[in-house]
Amino acid sequence: MRRLNIATVLFVAGCGPLVLAQSAAPASGQQPPVTVKRQPPPAPTKKNQAAPPLLQQYDFGAQLQALQDVDAMTPGSTVDAGVNSGGEGGKVPKEFRPSPDIPLSPTAVEAVRMSETWRGGQNVPAAGPDGRVLYAFGGGLPVLVCAPLRVCILELQAGEKIVGEPQIGDSVRWNISPGMYGDGDQATQMIVLKPQEAGLDTNLLVATDRRAYYLRLVSKPQEYVARVAFRYPEDENSQKWKQHLIEQRAQERDTKHQADILPAMITAEKLNFGYKVIGGNEHLRPVRIYDDGAKTYIQMSPDMQNREAPALVVLGADGKGEMTNYRVREQTYIVDRLFDRARLVLGSGKKAQKVEISREPKG
């Protein structure tokens, strides 16, 4: 019986499908030589050829053919993945199409329609100063056309401040950076836009402390708009009304002033300047006193507006003060009656300063 060396047995066990052929041991008692020969692997059986159940669900041949079909890759088309889902031959039926969208309610459909109408509306631009293109804010969707290697500027209203970071639909292929010129209330915020290539179409949202701007951004190979700004019809109308109210109030004041002062100056024949003034200093003494036959006017010096105004007391025949209606307009006392004697009093007690006014009879 042949005997094998232990090393030979271990070598054969590690060589897999190798067949050993050993010649007869020589009579001299030496170890017999070992012959090694490579044997081809056994042919695979049906059991080895079977694919896992998960892979058996897919028709990889159909998928490869669909991917090579250019027409099948157009937008809106569907590709038959070859999944065994109960159809004929284990494929999805041709008439089956997965739902590409979510159905909208009538309210949502109307909202989309209104938004499309606004986006598609015509917001006619107008030429502004320094090359600006002016859009009416709120009049429709403004469009900013840019070009590669060109800078486009979006200007806001003077004094308006950007709140937060502007949001852009395509932040990869559009470069956006802030800017500003001017100072104080006239400081104007800017947004600088640069597309990296032509044929881009996205949108931009800018929130400020006054309003929110929503724009469409388009990039063209050559055409571009350098500066875009806005007109604000609501603010302009509001400003016009404010200015109108200010002018109206000023006119009312002038009219009232004329009603109080000018009637005394209708004709020189009706004015009586026959009044005598005694006492007081240059700040307390009236500059002019006259009447028009119905009212008496006591005109004081202009510096009275920066000083304490004296009180006017009309004296009766007994020398006592009488109740009298008067008012002060433009440093002028307007008394709603005629009087023979009156007194201007500043202060009280012994230190009170007094000016005596008396009406002289016409000669």
Cα–Cα separations (whole angstroms), residue 84 to 60, 66, 348: 12, 16, 112
Strand, coil or helix: 125: coil
CA dihedral 324, 327, 331, 337 (to 10 degrees): -50
Q: Where are the beta strands (DSSP E) in 73-232?
A: 126-127, 132-136, 143-146, 152-155, 167-168, 174-181, 188-195, 201-207, 212-219, 227-231
Give Cβ neighbours of residue 22 (< 8 Å, ≥ 6 apart).
2, 4, 32, 33, 34, 35
Residue-level pLDDT at 133: 93
Residue-level pLDDT at 27: 52
Give Cβ neighbours of residue 344 (< 8 Å, ≥ 6 apart).
280, 284, 286, 298, 310, 311, 312, 313, 354, 355, 357
11-61 pLDDT per residue, tens: 444 444 444 444 444 555 566 676 767 777 666 555 555 666 666 666 667
Please give the model's pTM, rounded to 2 decimal places: 0.44
Residue-level pLDDT at 323: 83
* Phi and psi angles of residue 210, each rounded to the nearest 5 degrees, phi first: -120, -30
236-265 pLDDT per residue, tens: 777 777 787 888 888 888 777 766 665 555
Taking 70 as the pLDDT cut, the residues of the chain under it are 1-32, 34, 36, 41-60, 64, 66-92, 94, 96-99, 258-269, 363
Q: Residue 128: is it exposed, middle or buried by C-beta count within 10 angstroms (0-12/13-18/19+)? A: middle
